[in-house]
Structure 1
């Protein structure tokens, strides 16, 4: 059994964890081969479309596609060709809208953003100037997280948005754009960042400028956990891409074996800070994952 796994880039550690999650599922299930397809240019819809065509041209073809689309619409023609070939698709992180999918595994990005923003604002005692750092403009997760950030701001009258910049889910981009912003605007009290690798870039920029601000992110990547343990970051929200890809791969295999799988799996919001970060202070290979059976047991528990 062969699974074609499509992740968005080689730059975000969360997607490295997702690739590992698919491989961990394959190893646990047995008799499953994972083929990875990753754009060399991060989040490039043209390259992902070409990789989909490449996977469709393989002989034998993959039995299922486990796919995180890099764009809400620009990969749609390629996705429709997968459906036309009769190959089942399982989405993770971002939904597959262009064709039916067997299952979709993700977290509620709006709820994650709302949770981490509220955590930050409560830490600030409801008052302060906050710089928001978003992901790519066309990113589904970034737009949902920005919406969650703005909804949280609306509930805290003492919080002022000092600025909004796009860090494109990239450490170097976030570092450079934060540095430029700091030169023209001075220091904010806090930075509300849409993912952790950008949060690390924001910390780089603050350090270089000799400024301090309270920083939070999303993803719970090892670099963020290290920063929280060292007191450099306040918190992150766990967007567990490894777990998502694990369950998506397991859904693909279960479906191919004729078993029923959930149409949608949504992981819970978990805030990680100094009080509990030791639970996440593990390499991805050692972090626990839950299986479909364990997930079903949790749902059925009183």
Structure 2
């Protein structure tokens, strides 16, 4: 299969629906399997919704499974899709490094695999489609620094270990915050992109570091958990999240979240199906696609109103 270099998708979701060419010819009996890391996260619900909208638009059958954040379960789901001889498989990985064997098995049957939101290590895929997480981390650092007036003590709530999203957002944040010598990162704690774990981690962090003035959370669920733990201090301690989920945007508008780095999960889902259809037909597709991100603040939050 021929592939192109990285491209950046900058269109809004609606424009993607109008401008994509995957649906320009009948797709007939084209069946696509999609394994989502978890549907317990609003971000991935939006991702699924975008994929289902694309499947309906292009006239393909999309089978969606929920891995429930279980890497072994997801590997089994991918193996099942391969056994069913799906024409293409979309994977939103639980962990980037555990899917090599089932992806290689799919490749042996010429079933293209699209990695969505997170990369897959240990096997070649037809396309990796992600938000620009490194840039998003930098934007989060810059916005937090702006909210803090360039000085203060901050903590970081980290996402699931072994995921490219957590790694890249962390990398971007630390690269960005390095430009502000008067801001000190006093602690990091993993909370696995989960709200309850974010609340628990934040409760522990504020006990150990009562003078913190800022928080960078690598997704909105952890950020919202941090807000719960901070209670009345949530408006004093600036919390910046990542994802731009409906609840995250509402919290930004309410002033409990200082900002969130907004992704476009519906566009991500749509583009994943578009890429899967083209790959199944043997068309030329980009090896990697980056979906731009943008900081949502109280001033511009209405731009992200999708609920």
TM-score category, normalised to shorter length: 0.7 to 0.9
Listed as ranges, the gaps of 5+ residues in structure 2 are 1-29
Say if 2:37 is the partner of 1:11.
Answer: no
Contact 1:11 1:170 in 2 (8 A): no
CA deviation string 1:227-277 (max 9, x = no partner)? 011111111112222211210101111333454332322112311111211
Q: Equivalent of 1:33, from 44, 49, 61?
A: 61
Q: Equivalent of 2:81, from 51, 55, 62?
A: 55
Say if 2:280 is the partner of 1:240.
Answer: no
Structure 1's 123 and 108: CA in aligned 2 closer, same or farther, altered over 3 A? same
Say if 2:199 is the partner of 1:170.
Answer: no
Structure 1's 14 and 153: CA in aligned 2 closer, same or farther, altered over 3 A? same
Tell me how far apart the structure 2 counterparts of residues 158 and 228 of structure 1 sit (CA, whole Å): 25
Match of 1:289 in 2: none
CA deviation string 1:96-141 (max 9, x = no partner)? 3433322221122111000111111022111011111111222211
Task: Write out the 4+ residue segments of structure 1 that deviate beyond 4 Å after TM superposition.
Answer: 208-211
Cα offset for 1:206? 0.5
SS in 2 for 1:236: strand
Match of 2:95 in 1: 71
Cα offset for 1:7? 1.2
SS in 1 for 2:89: strand
SS in 1 for 2:286: coil
TM-score (norm 1): 0.87
Worse-superposed segment, 220-229 or 1-10: 1-10
Tell me how far apart the structure 2 counterparts of residues 70 and 215 of structure 1 sit (CA, whole Å): 26
Structure 1's 224 and 91: CA in aligned 2 closer, same or farther, altered over 3 A? same
Q: How many residues align?
A: 278
Instruction: Report matched runs for 1:87-106 at 5 Å.
Output: 87-106=111-130
SS in 1 for 2:229: helix
Structure 1's 139 and 95: CA in aligned 2 closer, same or farther, altered over 3 A? closer
Listed as ranges, the gaps of 5+ residues in structure 1 are 284-302
Match of 1:190 in 2: 214
Q: Equivalent of 2:143, from 99, 116, 119?
A: 119
Instruction: Report matched runs for 1:203-242 at 5 Å.
Output: 203-207=227-231, 212-242=236-266
Contact 2:36 2:91 in 1 (8 A): yes
SS in 2 for 1:233: coil
Structure 1's 208 and 82: CA in aligned 2 closer, same or farther, altered over 3 A? farther
Contact 2:99 2:121 in 1 (8 A): no
Cα offset for 1:197? 0.8
SS in 2 for 1:11: coil
Higher relative contact order (CA 8 A, sep 6+): 2
Structure 1's 258 and 73: CA in aligned 2 closer, same or farther, altered over 3 A? closer
Match of 2:170 in 1: 146
TM-score (norm 2): 0.86
Tell me how far apart the structure 2 counterparts of residues 219 and 148 of structure 1 sit (CA, whole Å): 15
Cα offset for 1:208? 7.2
Contact 2:78 2:89 in 1 (8 A): no
CA deviation string 1:34-56 (max 9, x = no partner)? 1112213x2x2111111112222
Contact 2:113 2:126 in 1 (8 A): yes
Tell me how far apart the structure 2 counterparts of residues 271 and 180 of structure 1 sit (CA, whole Å): 28
Say if 2:234 is the partner of 1:202.
Answer: no
- How well do the aligned residues superpose, as a CA RMSD in angstroms? 1.7
Tell me how far apart the structure 1 counterparts of residues 168 and 216 of structure 2 sit (CA, whole Å): 14
Tell me how far apart the structure 2 counterparts of residues 166 and 99 of structure 1 sit (CA, whole Å): 27
Structure 1's 139 and 259: CA in aligned 2 closer, same or farther, altered over 3 A? closer
